[in-house]
Amino acid sequence: MKNSYSNIFNFNKKILHKIIVNLKKGNVVGLPTETVYGLAGNAYMSESINKIYKFKNRPKRNPLIIHYFNYKRAEQDVIMNKNFYKLYKKFCPGPITFILKRKKKSKVKFSATANLNSVAIRFPNHRVMNSLLKNIEFPLAMPSANKSSRVSPVSAKNVADEFQKKIKMIIDGGKANLGIESTVIDLTGHPKILRPGLITPENINQVLKIKLNIINNNRTSKSPGLLSKHYSPGIPVIINQKNCKKNCALITFGKKYKNKKNFYNLSRTSNLKEAASKLYEIFRKIKKDRYKKIYVVKIPNKGIGIAINDRLKRASN
């Protein structure tokens, strides 16, 4: 099936070759992952990093996640520790990002990590990323492929709509399965979750068997990018509501809500994983349907619900 966007491509061997040529030249490429779509560039090249920040209009103090094929390839750039190996073994490749201390001889550009002495690393679980990362000898700096402070994209089309023709190459890898960004965990000291995600505090506790810190919403300087307003659909979002007027949209959860024109259900069966996977899609749909405000019902604040509430809270700031 041919799509109407001239910069969206299906993945195959020939395209893989083209992606690699582009990345080596310092160009950026829109790529699918299991969480959300990313805007990727060579993490060892300043030119690529500059382009990422420019296209996203991202503040330079907000560091990027560096994506690797496996931990062996990351060893040259970060100092690994026991907690890392345990979590890697259990969850990777998968939707979790580790903050580790930077190695002196690391080749990751300081501009990609906001001059910090740590590097965020991730091992995505997606067939496109897998074959690409396997075939290049540099890692990929890759933030979500949205303009800074906006909602992350979950399809190739979302990426194309966000950047129009500015990005020459976007790879269609289907809808991003999980639909929200990876869990970010700081392992440079006592483990601390900086951004909740699909891999929950309980999941992590089961592996590390420690009392985990979760950073609250008055985020401090530890994860600079999390300071600012984020995940905004571009219209006001009001959380913990029970109902709304006809001219507003209500995001609902569970079977007790009727099928009304302005009601958008995250999961009829109250499944938090399904809810997470639909959240950004529904934000976009509501905006497309031209509502001026989004009301959201209360979402249970446990497990994956913690991640959903984190995104909702920041969208509503």
Residue 200 interacts with ligand TXA (CB under 6 A)? no
φ, ψ (nearest 5 deg) of residue 283: -55, -50
Pick the stretch among 54-62, 75-83, 140-148, 242-250 that binds Mg ion (CB under 5 A).
Answer: 140-148
Nearer Cβ to Mg ion (65/294): 65
Pick the stretch among 74-82, 103-111, 138-146, 260-268 that binds ligand TXA (CB under 6 A).
Answer: 138-146
Contact between residue 56 and residue 143 where contact means Cβ atoms under 8 Å apart: yes
Omega before 93 cis (within 30°)?
A: yes
Contact partner at residue 50 from Mg ion, ligand TXA, none, CB < 5 to 8 Å by partner kind: none
Contact between residue 132 and residue 101 where contact means Cβ atoms under 8 Å apart: no
Enumerate residues 6-65 that contact ligand TXA by CB under 6 A. Answer: 33, 35-36, 38, 62-65
Residue 277 interacts with ligand TXA (CB under 6 A)? no
Contact partner at residue 196 from Mg ion, ligand TXA, none, CB < 5 to 8 Å by partner kind: none
Question: Binding ligand TXA by CB under 6 A: which of 144, 149, 200, 309?
Answer: 144
Residue 201 interacts with ligand TXA (CB under 6 A)? no
Start-to-end CA distance of the chain, whole Å, equals 40
- DSSP class of 138: S
Residue 113 interacts with ligand TXA (CB under 6 A)? yes
How far apart, in Å, are the Cα atoms of 99 and each of 22, 79, 120?
28, 10, 4
Residue 279 interacts with ligand TXA (CB under 6 A)? no
Distance CA 25, CA 300 (A): 46
Q: What is the DSSP string of 13-46?
A: HHHHHHHHHHHHHT--EEE--SSS-EEEEETT-H
Contact partner at residue 182 from Mg ion, ligand TXA, none, CB < 5 to 8 Å by partner kind: ligand TXA
Residue 167 interacts with ligand TXA (CB under 6 A)? no
At position 284, the amino acid (one-letter code) is: R
The structure tokens 């402070």 sit at 149
Count of residues of this chain found to bind ligand TXA when the rule CB under 6 A is applied: 29
Residue 223 interacts with ligand TXA (CB under 6 A)? yes
Contact partner at residue 97 from ligand TXA, Mg ion, none, CB < 5 to 8 Å by partner kind: ligand TXA
Residue 118 interacts with Mg ion (CB under 5 A)? no
Residue 149 interacts with Mg ion (CB under 5 A)? no
Residue 111 interacts with ligand TXA (CB under 6 A)? no
Assign 266 to helix, strand or coil: coil
Nearer Cβ to Mg ion (144/200): 144
Question: Binding Mg ion by CB under 5 A: which of 33, 144, 188, 252?
Answer: 144
Assign 75 to helix, strand or coil: coil
Residue nearest to ligand TXA (CB): 225
Contact partner at residue 282 from Mg ion, ligand TXA, none, CB < 5 to 8 Å by partner kind: none
Distance CA 143, CA 178 (A): 16
How far apart, in Å, are the Cα atoms of 41 and each of 24, 74, 135, 245?
9, 16, 15, 44
Q: Provide the 10 A C-beta neighbour count for residue 203.
A: 18
Nearer Cβ to ligand TXA (224/300): 224
At position 285, the amino acid (one-letter code) is: K
Burial code of 158-180, b = ≥16 C-beta within 10 A, e = fewer? Answer: bbbebbeeebebbbbbebbbbbb
Question: Binding ligand TXA by CB under 6 A: which of 106, 118, 267, 309?
Answer: 118
Q: Which residues bind Mg ion (CB under 5 A)?
A: 144
